[in-house]
């Protein structure tokens, strides 16, 4: 790890993408990512990455008690990225995508991911930790209702993860 | 002894009377009084079950059979009964159409009101099926088409639509 701390942390990748579009998983979601890496260090000079995956799901029933929406999602990221040029732990390939999606009669589902603000340092000045918040928003609607649900996932370069 | 026998006979007569009254309340409606949703003689709803199909925005069908069984492309979704109750495939009560036109869930909370002509009020939304069977008044991006030969199907179709398109969670 470098002697000086990374001074800027950036997201040079995507800021928003569709995860489910009109009841179907969006294939581009698997290759849409955000990151929190040092601004002045080329990506290929970062090393030490560790994989992290977290499955989660969303389910909704109708008034008949039938499960009308059953979606399996997955959060992936690489964390613990380091550089010989600057101190800090960084985050890359932070992604949420849809593994499977069942939407029944009368219902329409859309799910989007949006980076909330900028990548930031969630550590200290001397020991930076790259972090970035990603909001995953679900919109389920019928002729009669429009119901929403969202999660805010903040992944950190030290492996920490906040869900709000 | 005679007194005891008399008391026993009176009790038996009372029990028989209760059974007769209960029997009257659960009688099936005669065809002449049956319709698609007005209150019957005993203040209960008597629905005539009519086959129909509801087609959603993706062209998927939800059907109701002549015995009230609701079937989606996924499989059985429940059943509408002549007394206005709606049950899930396991037979659990899920909702009911009352003689007043109110649709209530299993807990008795009002979900909507449906008029005799099949028009409904769900929250701030006023809905009806037009002459071609197209649902008017909901989210225009979520088209819904009723296919039925009998116009009387509109009220039951609206009941099924409400139960299928509302979620138990607070909106």
- Residue B2: its pLDDT value, please? 45
Q: Which residue has the tokens 């809905």?
A: B127
For residue A43, what pLDDT is reported? 86
Pairwise CA distance, residues B9 & A89, whole Å: 90
pLDDT average, residue stretch B8-25: 36
DSSP B99-164: TTSEEEETT--EEEEE-TTS-EEETTEEEEE-TTSBEESS-TTS--EEE-SSTTHHHHHHHHHHHH
Number of CB pairs < 8 Å for A and B? 101
pLDDT for res B40: 52
What pLDDT is recorded for position A119?
97
**pLDDT tier, B15 (very low <50, low <70, confident <90, very high otherwise):** very low
Q: If you compute the radius of gyration of chain A from its CA atoms, what whole number of angstroms results? A: 18
**Across A74-87, average pLDDT:** 96
Q: What is the pLDDT of residue A1?
A: 61
pLDDT tens digits, B64-76: 999 999 999 999 9
Give the A-side interface with B, CB within 8 Å: 23, 60-66, 68, 104-108, 140-147
Asked if the model's pLDDT at residue B154 lies above 50, the reply is yes
| Contact: B168, A142; criterion CB under 8 Å | no
What percent of chain B stands above pLDDT 70? 73
Mean pLDDT of A113-121: 97
- Give the distance from residue B121's alpha carbon to the nearest chain A alpha carbon, in angstroms: 10
pLDDT-derived band of residue B22, with 50, 70 and 90 as boundaries? very low
Q: CB A106 to CB B62 under 8 A?
A: yes
Contact between residue A122 and residue A61 where contact means Cβ atoms under 8 Å apart:
no
In sequence order, what are the residues at sequence separation of 6 or more whose Cβ sits closer than 8 angstroms to the Cβ of residue A72?
Answer: A55, A57, A98, A99, A100, A101
Cβ proximity of B79 and B69 under 8 Å = yes
> pLDDT tens digits for B85-125?
999 999 999 999 999 999 999 999 999 999 999 999 999 99
- Chain A residues closer than 8 Å to B111 by CB: 63
Distance CA A42, CA B59 (A): 51
Note the pLDDT of residue A83: 94
Residues A151 and A149: their CA atoms lie apart, in Å, by 7
Mean of per-residue pLDDT scores for chain B? 80
* pLDDT score recorded for residue B25: 30
| Average pLDDT score over residue span A87-91 | 96
Asked if the model's pLDDT at residue B17 lies above 50, the reply is: no
**pLDDT at residue B30, rounded to an integer:** 31
Q: In terms of pLDDT, which residue wins out, A107 or A6?
A: A107
Average pLDDT over residues B22-43: 39
> Distance (Å) from the C-alpha of residue B104 to the closest C-alpha of chain A?
10
Mean pLDDT of B41-46: 72
Contact at CB, B138 and A140, closer than 8 angstroms: no
Contact A143 B139 (CB under 8 A): yes
């Amino acid at each position: 790890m470098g002697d000086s701390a990374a001074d800027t942390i950036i997201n040079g990748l995507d800021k928003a993408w569709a995860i489910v579009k009109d009841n179907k998983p969006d294939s581009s979601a698997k290759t849409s990512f955000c990151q929190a890496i040092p601004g002045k260090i080329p990506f290929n000079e970062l090393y030490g990455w560790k994989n992290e995956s977290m499955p989660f799901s969303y389910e909704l029933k109708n008034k008949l008690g039938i499960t009308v929406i059953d979606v399996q999602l997955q959060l992936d990221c690489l964390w613990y990225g380091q550089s010989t040029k600057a101190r800090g732990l960084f985050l890359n390939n932070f992604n949420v995508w849809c593994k499977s999606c069942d939407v029944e009669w009368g219902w329409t589902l859309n799910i989007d991911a949006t980076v909330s603000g900028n990548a930031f340092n969630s550590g200290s000045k001397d020991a930076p930790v790259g972090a970035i918040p990603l909001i995953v928003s679900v919109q389920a609607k019928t002729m009669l209702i429009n119901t929403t649900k969202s999660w805010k996932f903040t992944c950190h370069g030290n492996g920490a993860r906040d869900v709000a | 002894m005679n007194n005891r026998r008399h008391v026993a006979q009176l009790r038996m007569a009372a029990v028989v009377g209760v059974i007769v009254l209960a029997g009257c309340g659960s009688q099936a409606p005669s065809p002449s009084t049956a319709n698609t949703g007005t209150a019957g003689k005993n203040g209960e709803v008597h629905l005539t079950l009519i086959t129909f199909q509801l087609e959603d925005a993706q062209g998927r069908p939800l059907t109701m059979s002549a015995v009230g069984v609701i079937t989606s492309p996924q499989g059985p979704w429940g059943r509408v009964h002549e007394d206005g109750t709606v049950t899930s495939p396991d037979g659990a009560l899920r909702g009911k159409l009352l003689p007043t036109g109110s649709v209530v869930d299993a807990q008795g909370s009002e979900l909507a009101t449906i008029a005799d002509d099949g028009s409904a009020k769900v929250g701030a939304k006023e809905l009806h099926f037009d002459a071609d069977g197209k649902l008017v008044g909901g989210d225009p991006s979520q088209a819904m088409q009723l296919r039925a030969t009998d116009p009387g199907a509109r009220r039951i179709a609206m009941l099924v639509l409400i139960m299928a398109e509302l979620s138990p969670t607070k909106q």
